[in-house]
C-alpha cells in the first residue's frame, strides 16, 4: 500500500507513483491512500481553473492524471484501489486545513488508524510518502511509522530536477508532454527512520492508549523513564495514567523488589534455613534473611489491613504484628515470590506495552529495570508510626490522586 500525506499539490502523487513504477525492480501499489483535507479532496477530484483555464488537472477519475500515468506506462492499477481519507473534526465536519489543534489531532488520529491497521497484517508492505502537505502532516506520519513500521515498510521523499518544474502546475511526471517534462527527472529518496516497533507491542499500544497523543505518550514512557506508584492501601499499581488492581501477594513481592532497588541491594534466594523443610527457599537482602522475610510480611499485611482489623480503626498494632509474624514464619520464595510474580508479569503484559511490562520486573531473578528514583510506594496512613515502617514508604495521606 502507498500512503501519501497531501495538501494542495496533487502532483506529488503522480511523481511518487512514477518513481516507484520505473525503479528497478518496479513497485506497483495495490492500494493508494491519499490522506488530505477537504480542500485537497476537492482539488483532486475537480482540479483548479483560473480565468476559465484549467491550471491544475483533476488527479482522480477515469481521465484523471493517475489514470493517464498508468495508461502511458502500461500499469494495471486495480479498480477502486485509490482512496481519499479526509479526517473529521470535532463537529463531525471534514477538516479544511491543518491550522488548529483540533485539525492536527484529527489528522493524526486518521493516520494512526490507517497505519496501525495496515501494519497489523504480516503480509502487507507499506510505503509512506512525506513529500506533500504541511510539515505537520509529514512529522506525524514519520512519528507513527516509527512506532508501527516494520522492516518491509518505507518512508520516502521525492524531488524533481530541474527544480523549477516543482513550481509548474502543469508538470506531473517526466514525459507527460508538459513543457520541459522530457528533460525532467524525479528522484525518490528513502528516509531512514527509527523502528521502535522492536520494543513496543503495537496492537496493545493502540488498545491501551486509544488516540494519537496517548499512544505517543505510552510509547515515550515505554522506552524512557516512567513514574510508577504503588498504593498498598488500595492494592493498586499506577503507571502511564493507568490503574492496575493487584493482589496482596503480587504487590508485596513487587514492593519488596522496588525497596531493594532503592537500597541498591540484591535479593537472593537462600536454602538450609528451615529445619523442617530443607528444600524450602528463603529470601535475603544483602544476606539478611530474617529482616527480609519480616519486611515482605509487613508489606503483605499492609495490603490486608482492612481484613486484619475487619474495618475497625487501627488503635493498636497488636493484630497487625501478629499477622506479620505469621506470614514471615510461613514465607517461601516459590509460593510468595515466584508464583505471584509470574501472575503479575502476565497481568502487566495484558495491560501494558510489552517493552514497559518487561521493565517493571525482570523475568530472571528478583529485580526491576525501572529507575528507583521514579518509584513511589504508599503505605496505609494508620501504620505510619509503626516501628517497622520502612523509610521507603510514604503515607497514603500524602498521595495526590
Residues 6+ apart with CB under 8 A from 311: none
pLDDT recorded at residue 314: 82
CB 23, CB 148: distance < 8 Å: no
User: Which of 48-57, 253-262, 306-315 is predicted with the least confidence, judged by mean pLDDT?
Assistant: 48-57
* Helix 101-119 vs helix 212-223: crossing angle, to nearest 10: 70
> All 3 cell numbers of residue 206?
493502540
Stretch 43-58: mean pLDDT? 83
State which of 46-60, 300-314, 351-365 shows the largest mean pLDDT: 300-314
DSSP 264-305: T--EEEE-S--TT-TT--EEEETTBHHHHHHHHHHHHHHHTH
pLDDT at 117 > cutoff 70: yes
Give me the residue label for grid cell 489491613: 305
> All 3 cell numbers of residue 371?
529507575
> All 3 cell numbers of residue 366?
528478583
> All 3 cell numbers of residue 230?
504503588
pLDDT recorded at residue 250: 97
pLDDT at 52 > cutoff 90: no
* Percent of the chain topping pLDDT 70: 97
pLDDT recorded at residue 272: 86
pLDDT recorded at residue 107: 95
Q: How confident is the model at residue 378 (pLDDT cuts 50, 70, 90)?
A: very high
Q: Which stretches within 209-286 are classed as H helix?
A: 212-223, 248-263
The total number of residues shown for the chain amounts to 401
Check whether domain 2-197 has CATH 3.40.50, yes or no: yes
CB 330, CB 399: distance < 8 Å: no
Between residues 36 and 203, the one the model is more confident about: 36
pLDDT recorded at residue 199: 75
Between residues 301 and 401, the one the model is more confident about: 301
Question: What is the Cα–Cα distance from 41 to 62, expressed in whole angstroms?
Answer: 16
Stretch 41-67: mean pLDDT? 88
Give bridge partners of residue 156 from the DSSP assignment.
129, 190
Q: How confident is the model at residue 54 (pLDDT cuts 50, 70, 90)?
A: low
pLDDT at 10 > cutoff 80: yes
pLDDT at 60 > cutoff 90: yes
The total of other beta-carbon atoms located within 10 Å of residue 347's CB is 17
For 46-50, which contacts have Cβ atoms below 8 Å and span 24 or more sequence positions?
Answer: 48/169
Question: What is the Cα–Cα distance from 30 to 285, expressed in whole angstroms?
Answer: 60
Domain ranges for the chain, please list them: 2-197, 225-398
> All 3 cell numbers of residue 102?
483540533
pLDDT recorded at residue 204: 67
Percent helix, strand and coil across the chain, each rounded to 5? Answer: 45, 15, 40
pLDDT recorded at residue 249: 96
301-316 burial: b if 16+ Cβ within 10 Å, else e? bbbbbeeebeeeebee
pLDDT recorded at residue 268: 92
Average pLDDT score, the chain: 91
Express each pLDDT in 246-292 by its tens digit.
999 999 999 999 999 999 999 999 998 888 888 899 999 989 999 99
Identify whether 380 is preceded by a cis peptide bond (ω within 30 of 0): no
Express each pLDDT in 290-302 by its tens digit.
999 999 999 999 9
Question: What is the Cα–Cα distance from 47 to 40, expressed in whole angstroms?
Answer: 10
CA dihedral 340, 369, 236, 341 (to 10 degrees): 0
CB 77, CB 66: distance < 8 Å: yes
CA angle 220, 111, 202 (to 5 degrees): 45
* Percent of the chain topping pLDDT 90: 75
Type and span of the H or E element at 349: helix 339-351
pLDDT at 207 > cutoff 70: no
Identify whether 162 is preceded by a cis peptide bond (ω within 30 of 0): yes
Express each pLDDT in 123-137 by its tens digit.
999 999 999 999 999
Q: How many CA atoms lie within 13 A of 177 on its CB side?
A: 4
Q: How confident is the model at residue 209 (pLDDT cuts 50, 70, 90)?
A: low
* Helix 248-263 vs helix 289-303: crossing angle, to nearest 10: 130
CB 147, CB 202: distance < 8 Å: yes
Between residues 295 and 369, the one the model is more confident about: 295
CB 198, CB 355: distance < 8 Å: no
Express each pLDDT in 218-227 by its tens digit.
777 777 778 8
pLDDT recorded at residue 130: 95
Amino acid at each position: 500500500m502507498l500512503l501519501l500525506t497531501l495538501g494542495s499539490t496533487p502532483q506529488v502523487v503522480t511523481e511518487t507513483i512514477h518513481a516507484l513504477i520505473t525503479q528497478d525492480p518496479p513497485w506497483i501499489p495495490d492500494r493508494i491512500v491519499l490522506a488530505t483535507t477537504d480542500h485537497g479532496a476537492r482539488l483532486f477530484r475537480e482540479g483548479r481553473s483560473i480565468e476559465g483555464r484549467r491550471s491544475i488537472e483533476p488527479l482522480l477519475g477515469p481521465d484523471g492524471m493517475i489514470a493517464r500515468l498508468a495508461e502511458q506506462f502500461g500499469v494495471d492499477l486495480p479498480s477502486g484501489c485509490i482512496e481519499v481519507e479526509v479526517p473529521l473534526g470535532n463537529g463531525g465536519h471534514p477538516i479544511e486545513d491543518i491550522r488548529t489543534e483540533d485539525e492536527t489531532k484529527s489528522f493524526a488520529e486518521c493516520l494512526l488508524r490507517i497505519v496501525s491497521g495496515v501494519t497489523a497484517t504480516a503480509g502487507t508492505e507499506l510505503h509512506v510518502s512525506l513529500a506533500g502537505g504541511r510539515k505537520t502532516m509529514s512529522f506525524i506520519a514519520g512519528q507513527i511509522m516509527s512506532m508501527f513500521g516494520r522492516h518491509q515498510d518505507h518512508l520516502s521523499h521525492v524531488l524533481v530536477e530541474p527544480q523549477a518544474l516543482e513550481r509548474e502546475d502543469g508538470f506531473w511526471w517526466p514525459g507527460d508532454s508538459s513543457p520541459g517534462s522530457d528533460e525532467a527527472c524525479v528522484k525518490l529518496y528513502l528516509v531512514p527512520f527509527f523502528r521502535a516497533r522492536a520494543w513496543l507491542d503495537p496492537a496493545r499500544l493502540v488498545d491501551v492508549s486509544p488516540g494519537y497523543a496517548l499512544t505517543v505518550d505510552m510509547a515515550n514512557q515505554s522506552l524512557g523513564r516512567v513514574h510508577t506508584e504503588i498504593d498498598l492501601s488500595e492494592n493498586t499499581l499506577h503507571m502511564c495514567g493507568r490503574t492496575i488492581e493487584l493482589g496482596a501477594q503480587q504487590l508485596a513481592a513487587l514492593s519488596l523488589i522496588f525497596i531493594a532497588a532503592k537500597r541498591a541491594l540484591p535479593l537472593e534466594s537462600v536454602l538450609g534455613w528451615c529445619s523442617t523443610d530443607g528444600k524450602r527457599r528463603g529470601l535475603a537482602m544483602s544476606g539478611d534473611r530474617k529482616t527480609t522475610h519480616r519486611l515482605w510480611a509487613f508489606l503483605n499485611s499492609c495490603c490486608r489491613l482492612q481484613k486484619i482489623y475487619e474495618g475497625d480503626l487501627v488503635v493498636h498494632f497488636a493484630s497487625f504484628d501478629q499477622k506479620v509474624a505469621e506470614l514471615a514464619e510461613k514465607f517461601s520464595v516459590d509460593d510468595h515470590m515466584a508464583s505471584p510474580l509470574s501472575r503479575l508479569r502476565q497481568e502487566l503484559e495484558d495491560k501494558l506495552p510489552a517493552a514497559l511490562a518487561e521493565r517493571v520486573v525482570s523475568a530472571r531473578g528478583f529485580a526491576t529495570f525501572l529507575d528507583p528514583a521514579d518509584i513511589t510506594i504508599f503505605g496505609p496512613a494508620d501504620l505510619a508510626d509503626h516501628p517497622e515502617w520502612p523509610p521507603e514508604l510514604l503515607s497514603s495521606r500524602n498521595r495526590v490522586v
